[in-house]
Structure 1
Amino acid sequence: MIKRKAKGASKPIGECISQLQKCLRERLCHNRIPSRLEASEAQHKHLLGLLQRTANNGESNSVLIIGPRGSGKTALLKCVLRDLLQEKEVQKNLLQVHLNGLLQTDDRIALKEITRQLNLENVVGDKVFGSFAENLVFLLEALKKGDRSTTRPVLFVLDEFDLFAHHKNQTLLYNLLDVSQSAQAPVAVVGLTCRLDVLELLEKRVKSRFSHRQIHLLSSLTFAQYLERVASQLSLPDDFPDREFALDWNSSVRRFCEDKSVEGILQRHFNSSKDFRSLHMLLMLCLSRISTVNPTIKPADILEASRLCFSDAKSNMLHGLSILELCLVIAMKHLNDVYEGEPFNFQMVHNGL
């Protein structure tokens, strides 16, 4: 239907398909911030209130956002920051420092990254500090405004918060939380973690300086909402360049989502994971099959995409190997077990056949 109607449309079918793929790939791959979070309004309001008090009133706060992977912790924080930065005064004054426990593996690297993100490399220069705390206090002092009376508020976001608890003596966490508690400077510390027992990892001196505010995110998504998400992610917006093509595409998406075989495949994915990132990967694989020859999304597309998503990556590497090649792989596996990871050459593999 789309192909036939597009012949009389203002744009060629190929150009419409190209615009379609560009629009949907930006939506699925760039993880655009949603206009609102369906099941996290209370958590959004709570976190926004905390950060507003830091940005507007200079009140220091610390909070942990806890939830399983894919539950929307990062999306919640991004939505809050988007709403917070709509105020011009906040946008002008609030400084942000984003750290990740997978990247900043020790306090020295973390402090260097804090200095870089605050643009204070020239201020620090070749100064030598006696301790981590002395260095951090100097950085916060350098953020004071021209009259030296007030300090710009700083938001510290610690992704993979539990990994920072494994740093030696938890120096970074101790000093950040100590600053937030002692009101030396307006600082908000927001930690994101998927570990429910994260507080048990903290030392007593660190735990005593934490406010014990926790925001829990648990996925309460129903399958009906999951289907609505699929339809909304695949639908074209009202401002799509070719209006007639967009209407035909959106009607085909509705028929696609009502198909019983499609519902069965999506039910399987929903039961295995409610993570929207895995859903976006599934939809991206479907989208990659769209072309001028196949201008609509069909149940066969999602069936093939689902097969790719659930396939074993290790077994995929062995597909297509001959019997001889499989024998070589088995011999190498035996040699690797015998020599416990020590190097071996092809002659040793050949002798092991």
Structure 2
Amino acid sequence: MSKKKSMVINFEDNVILMTRKFLKRRIMCSEGKFRHHVKERAHIFELIKSTVEMGESNSALLIGPRGCGKTALINCVLKELSTLKIFKDNALIVNLHGLVHTDDRLALKDTIRQMQLENIVGDKVFGSFAENLQFLLECLKSGDKEHSKPVIFILDEFDLFCTHQNQTLLYNLFDIAQSAQAPICVIGITCRLDVIELLEKRVKSRFSHRQIFLFPGDISSADNSITAFDDRLELFQNLLSLPDDENVNKVEEEYDDCTVDHNFAKTWNDRIRTLVNNVTMINLLKRMYQTTVSERSFRNFLAVAVSTLSEKHQSLEVNDFVEASKMFSRDDKVLMLEGLSVLEICLIIAMKHETEIYDGEPLNFESVFNRYIKFANENSSIQSVQRPVIMKAFEHIKNLEILVPVTNTCSKVEKEYQCYKFLLTSEQVMDAVKSYPGLPTAVCQWTLSSFN
């Protein structure tokens, strides 16, 4: 009897571990279909498709804030196009990233590698920038629409390529696209709305000026009655549900190392539907959605909650999501303050008091210094610090952009008397002090005092 019981427990433990693995895979790996921005997706799809099928050369910029789905949209379009035989057999895709390819030399070498030209060029891929550029341009320009393979260039963090010297790579890519010597499509992905202004005049003249904007919260679904939050709630249920009998075979093909128990799946999905209808859960998701509409952040939040599943914790509860949300509801500026020294925290508190006492008026180093020294002299537990050290701490705070200079400040004013605007609220300072580990009691009490 005990052996049977042990086998049941081991089976259930294995199911939970497989469930956790499956859900994390589904949450962190976006599914193939792209749910939103239907018009924008269709536009990108037709641009790339016309390059592959008709030999047309195109260029475009996909612009939108971080987390709105720009890269996911591109990946979805490329995945769908890859099902077409002409695309699969002929098209070459070159992915470049501004954070990785920090100059044109690195971008050029990786372009040659991704275009699989090493065998033709031999060791020239390790040659000079001029040689590599000349070779690549000859490869692109030597063909024609009928005989050249179409090349799709995806430039993520496009604005960073604009900082490269002379924008040589961008110039040549746009020049080839404009002259239509070989079929290429250049898609830039960026969050900079002013990206066109970053292009040099000669580069701008060769760009098509085709800009496609993605706006967060614009779900653009077929059903106009669905609100943005309803869509988020539906995503919550879909990502956390296990496949039913109809979809299990399809899912197991996609996640070949994750098997799902059918009977367990039914019970699990009933629990998830209960969570979706829970008032506390709905309010939590609404608060998070009001903070950020980013689907990437939402998926990260779900992944943290799912990670709590174990042999001892075999179901997801509302409290699991409440605890997970704490990691994503913290203010970035408050988190930044936690990394400061005690001296810098004291200066932040002094700035808070200065701002409160003088009703938001600009402050300078001298006023902050005097307020801190007064506090230090009144508390024997606070170690005295020399003025140059305090000045260095003040400069560090300024470099973190917690302080911004007042625009009408005269350049001839000594730096001790230059005026700054304090950007933190009293609540942010209080939160930082509460969460700061090992902060002296005197400093905590000083934060609470209004006129010190």
After TM superposition, the score normalised by the length of structure 1 is 0.82
* 1:229 to 2:243 alignment: no
1:113 and 2:110 matched = yes
Q: Give the alignment partner of residue 61 of structure 1, picking from 58, 62, 76.
A: 58
Indicate the residue corresponding to 2:288 in structure 1: 269
2:55–2:146 Cα contact (<8 Å) kept? no
Structure with the greater relative contact order (CA < 8 A, sep ≥ 6): 1 or 2?
1
After TM superposition, list the pairs within 5 Å mapping 1:24-63 onto structure 2: 24-29=23-28, 31-35=29-33, 37-63=34-60
**What is the deviation of 1:117?**
1.1
Q: CA deviation at 1:100?
A: 0.6
**Pairs aligned (count):** 323
| Shift, 1:295, TM fit | 1.7
Inter-partner Cα distance in structure 1 for 2:149 and 2:47:
16
8 A Cα contact 2:32 2:79, kept in partner: no
Task: Work out whether residues 109 and 132 of structure 2, in 8 Å CA contact, stay in contact via their aligned partners in 1.
Answer: no
**Relative to 1, partners in 2 of residues 1:329 and 1:81: Cα closer, same or farther, differing over 3 Å?**
farther
Question: Partners of 1:330 and 1:278 in 2: how far apart?
Answer: 43
Q: Give matches, 1:289-308, under 5 Å.
A: 289-308=308-327
For residues 119-151 of structure 1, the C-alpha deviation after alignment (integer angstroms, 9 at most, x for no partner) is: 223433347675775333124258x59xx9721
Q: 3-state DSSP class of the match of 1:211?
A: coil
Q: Of the candidates 210, 218, 238, which is equivalent to residue 215 of structure 2?
A: 218
After superposition, where does 1:198-217 map in structure 2 within 5 Å? Answer: 198-217=195-214
Matches of 1:119 and 1:38 in 2, distance apart?
33
Counterpart check, 1:18 vs 2:17 = yes
The residue identity in structure 1 corresponding to 2:49 is Q
C-alpha RMSD over aligned residues: 3.1
Partner Cα separation in structure 1 for residue 320 and residue 175 of structure 2: 54
Partner of 1:89: 86
Provide closer, same or farther for how the CA distance between residues 129 and 161 of structure 1 changes in structure 2, counting only shifts above 3 A.
closer
Question: Conserved in 1, the CA contact under 8 Å of 2:20 and 2:306?
Answer: yes
Secondary structure at the aligned position of 1:310 is classed as coil
Q: What secondary structure, in the 3-state scheme, does the structure 1 residue paired with 2:86 have? A: helix
Q: How does 1:1-353 map to 2 (within 5 A)?
A: 12-29=11-28, 31-35=29-33, 37-124=34-121, 125-126=123-124, 130=130, 134-140=134-140, 150-219=147-216, 220-221=218-219, 222-238=228-244, 239=248, 241-311=260-330, 313=335, 335=389, 338=392
Give SS of 2:189's match.
strand
- Tell me whether 163-172 or 115-124 shows the greater mean CA deviation: 115-124
Quote the Cα distance in structure 1 between the aligned partners of 2:190 and 2:114: 22
CA 1:261–1:149 in 2, change beyond 3 Å: closer, same or farther? closer
Which structure 1 residue ranges, 5 or more long, are not aligned?
A: 1-5, 319-326, 342-353
Distance 2:44 2:383 in 1: 53
Which is higher, the Rg of structure 1 or of structure 2? 2
Query: Which residue type is aligned with residue 151 of structure 2?
Result: V
**Partners in 1 of 2:268 and 2:14 — Cα distance?**
14
Q: What amino acid is aligned across from residue 31 of structure 2 in structure 1?
A: I
The answer to whether the Cα contact below 8 Å between 1:223 and 1:267 also exists between their aligned partners in 2 is yes
- In 1, Cα distance between equivalents of 2:176 and 2:383: 57
Q: What TM-score comes out, normalization by structure 2 length?
A: 0.65
d(CA) in 2 for partners of 1:244, 1:329: 65
